[in-house]
Structure 1
Amino acid sequence: MLPLRYFIELSYHGKRYHGWQRQPNAITVQESLERAFSMVLRTPIHITGAGRTDTGVHAKQMYAHFDSDSTIDRENLIYRLNAFLPEDIAVYRIIPVAEDAHARFDATSRTYEYWINPVKNPFLEGLSYYNRNPLNVEKMNEVAQLLLGYQDFQCFSKSKTDVKTYFCDIKNAVWERCGDKLVFTITADRFLRNMVRAIVGTLLDAGQEKSSEENVKNILKSKNRSKAGVSVPAHGLYLTRIEYPYIKEE
């Protein structure tokens, strides 16, 4: 009998973690989940995530998958896992899927948000980027629309990243005011390492009149990371949505 495969829907506050992926001598979300699942199910469990968030990045919605040799009481498992997991990781759903379903490769789109607060707010400390500089949001949105006309985003990728292609299909990129916050939302089929934070830094330069549309076009064509803006802090970044053709939102 083949192992049964399950998807996990979860969220986490990234402040304490050195990203998603297991690392030697560092606490990660993957390691914390695998420890909890292995303890509760009393067998070693390997978990494969939909992607790798960097150190300090948060996830409002993350998916991962694992295999089990037996049928699972899902509601009971969720209850026991949340009792065992640290307070900054929560499991919401465990979903039976086909044996060849894959949390990383089957995702059709991913959405991130980046939060900026223009006024010092102690309740957003560690949850958004405090930036006092006046920003031209209309200009930032105009420049953000340029991204939809390109596919090669090597200029926003972390240097020395081992990837087969720098091509990404960006479907949406927009800035919106949400109460006291300024939120950038971006959706694509995939993202490169550090890509969203580099894009936000580049758009902030445009919003502060340090860069123009023409300059951003030249950055995109250059394929050179050093030409783009600085990477904004990780604690303002959230993975908010991952879509699959066979997973329905509740």
Structure 2
Amino acid sequence: MRNIKLTIEFDGSGFHGWQIQGELPTVQGALEDAIARLTGERIRVIGAGRTDAGVHALGQVANFHTRSKLDVSQIGAALNGILPRSVYVHEAIEVALDFNARFAARTRRYRYRLLRGRSPMRRKWAWEVPFVFDPQPIRDALRTLEGRHDFTSFTLHALEQHGRVATILDLLWQDGPDECVLEIEADRFLRGMVRSIVGTLVQIGRGKLAVEDLERILEARDRQEAGPTAPAHGLCLLSVSY
């Protein structure tokens, strides 16, 4: 038995998220189908990040166990010849049998892109924000989110399996003339957490919420207190660290 670690890029536009959902197209399903064609084995692929429908990835990490004798240097290219063009394996390496892409991950880093106005070329991978917003209060609000908090107010899932506490290790807001970017790194993410944070920050930038409201929202542990959920297509999983 061997354990193969994959680093994967994908365009999430045509997928119903990472995790297998019956007959719906998912990234995990596409990978498992490709591996079955390559090795003749029906195996389960473990992903580091279980992204929602429409979310993209530049550096998703996954692993699978196989009895195949195929040289690991050929696995990535062979899978890329089978996978749809919206999924690409950048690297395939053999790792220890007990490596688990999800549970061994120390941090995950996401990027969210926001457009000031319309862009037909970029709208597939960024949120065309239909409001004018001021980035300065958004930058001021980031300090409140850093560190260890209960993020119940920023999750879409009422029953998180492993609790709702997470530690945000890094937050970076970048302004451009027509595009803004938020990068966020944490030890774990709740479902919809990044998009809920982005939606709330935009409300702060619009003046609908004050910077000081963030502490109240965190303490409330109530999703209704935070801002709306930003669209999925602006979000991208950048990297996973081990």
TM-score range, shorter chain: over 0.9
Q: SS where residue 125 of structure 1 aligns?
A: coil
Q: SS where residue 198 of structure 2 aligns?
A: helix
Q: Following TM superposition, by how much is the alpha carbon of 1:36 offset from its aligned partner in structure 2, in angstroms?
A: 0.3
CA distance in 1 between counterparts of 2:74 and 2:93 reads 13
Which of residues 174, 192, 195 in structure 1 aligns to 2:193?
195
CA contact (8 A) 1:161 1:193 kept: no
Q: Does 1:182 align with 2:176?
A: no
CA contact (8 A) 1:159 1:225 kept: no
In terms of fraction of residues, the more strand-rich structure is: 2
> What's the RMSD between the two structures over aligned residues?
1.3
Q: Which residue of 1 aligns with 2:205?
A: 207
Q: Following TM superposition, by how much is the alpha carbon of 1:134 offset from its aligned partner in structure 2, in angstroms?
A: 2.1
CA distance in 1 between counterparts of 2:183 and 2:236 reads 10
Q: Following TM superposition, by how much is the alpha carbon of 1:172 offset from its aligned partner in structure 2, in angstroms?
A: 1.0
Letter in 2 for 1:131: V
Q: SS where residue 84 of structure 2 aligns?
A: coil
Letter in 1 for 2:134: N
- TM-score norm. by structure 1 comes to 0.93
CA contact (8 A) 2:105 2:241 kept: yes
Q: Which residue of 2 aligns with 1:247?
A: none
Q: Does 1:169 align with 2:190?
A: no
Q: SS where residue 111 of structure 2 aligns?
A: strand
CA contact (8 A) 2:52 2:232 kept: yes
Q: Which residue of 1 aligns with 2:128?
A: 130
Q: Which residue of 2 aligns with 1:18?
A: 16
Q: Following TM superposition, by how much is the alpha carbon of 1:153 offset from its aligned partner in structure 2, in angstroms?
A: 0.6
Q: Following TM superposition, by how much is the alpha carbon of 1:149 offset from its aligned partner in structure 2, in angstroms?
A: 4.2
Per-residue CA distance 1:45-75 (angstroms, 9 max, x = gap): 2211112100000011100110112443123
- State percent identity of aligned pairs: 34
Which of residues 137, 149, 152 in structure 2 aligns to 1:151?
149
Unmatched segments (≥5 aa) in structure 2? none
Q: Which residue of 2 aligns with 1:248?
A: none
- TM-score norm. by structure 2 comes to 0.96
Q: Following TM superposition, by how much is the alpha carbon of 1:152 offset from its aligned partner in structure 2, in angstroms?
A: 0.8
Letter in 1 for 2:94: P
Which of residues 52, 66, 69 in structure 2 aligns to 1:54?
52
